[in-house]
Amino acid sequence: MAHMSTRTREKRTYCGICEAVCGLIATVDEMETEVSVRPDNDHPLSAGFACAKGMAYPDARNDPDRVTRPLKRQPDGSFAEVDWEQALDEIASRLKDVIDRYGSESVGLNGGNPIGSNYGLFLSLFGMAAALGTKHFYIAASSRRQQLLGRRGAAVRPRTRELVSGPRPH
Ligand code: SF4
């Protein structure tokens, strides 16, 4: 693969934004940060196709406004950065309050398309759904999936719970 210069190089990769996983050629700098991407003409599936979202990926990744730390809304409407420990503690506390008041079925999880190419994240959501005690776990194809599964979709909850923590004691 051709090198662009002594400071950048090209590497073969793919777009993980959706399940099409189009093949890309990325130009990266010394820090392995994508400077630009272009479709990979030699990819066996996408064969040189990539949509506007995939092509805009370096702009989104390198945008100075990209959120990479927890932000908490302040009384005046602005946002202030907080550390992960505080953010997770406060989210957990508020979730617990919602569950205490309205039950575990009052909360749900939604996984966007990119988790489809991240097995660790995808599987961790099953654990989180089991820990929360909810069967409401949605993905981009949920409505179609529910049509296909029908009532069997309701059987997911006990199985995911047992996968993570074992059967419930009786
Ligand atoms: S380039 Fe577009 S169609 Fe291809 S994986 Fe990325 S988002 Fe999906």
| Residue located nearest, by CA, to atom 4 of ligand 1 | 22
Q: Are 28 and 16 in contact (CB under 8 A)?
A: no
Please give the structure tokens belonging to residue 72: 């908490």
pLDDT tens digits along 103-139: 999 999 988 887 777 888 888 988 999 999 998 988 7
Q: What is the pLDDT of residue 58?
A: 92
Cα distance between residue 10 and residue 29, in whole Å = 9
Is 53 touching ligand 1 by the criterion CB < 6 Å?
A: yes
Please give the structure tokens belonging to residue 130: 């089991």
Is 15 touching ligand 1 by the criterion CB < 6 Å?
A: yes
Find the CATH number of the domain harbouring 54: 3.30.200.210
List the domain range (segments joined by +) for residue 73: 67-102
Q: Are residues 84 and 113 in the same domain?
A: no
pLDDT tens digits along 66-105: 999 999 999 999 999 999 999 999 999 999 999 999 999 9
Q: Are residues 87 and 110 in the same domain?
A: no
150 CA distance to ligand 1 middle (Å): 29
H/E segment holding residue 163: helix 156-165
> Domain for residue 1, yes or no?
no
Q: Are residues 139 and 117 in the same domain?
A: yes
Q: Are residues 79 and 116 in the same domain?
A: no
* Average confidence score pLDDT of the chain: 83
95 CA distance to ligand 1 middle (Å): 33
| Residue located nearest, by CA, to atom 8 of ligand 1 | 18
> Domain for residue 4, yes or no?
no
For a mutational test of ligand 1's pocket, the pick from 17, 21, 36, i.e. the residue with the most ligand atoms closer than 8 A to its C-beta, is 17
pLDDT tens digits along 44-65: 999 999 999 999 999 998 899 9
Q: Are residues 123 and 154 in the same domain?
A: yes
Q: Are residues 154 and 109 in the same domain?
A: yes
Cα distance between residue 83 and residue 25, in whole Å = 35
H/E segment holding residue 127: helix 119-132
Q: Are residues 97 and 109 in the same domain?
A: no
| Residue located nearest, by CA, to atom 2 of ligand 1 | 51
Q: In total, how many domains does the chain have?
A: 3
> Domain for residue 40, yes or no?
yes
> Domain for residue 2, yes or no?
no
Q: What is the pLDDT of residue 168?
A: 46
141 CA distance to ligand 1 middle (Å): 16
Q: Are residues 98 and 108 in the same domain?
A: no
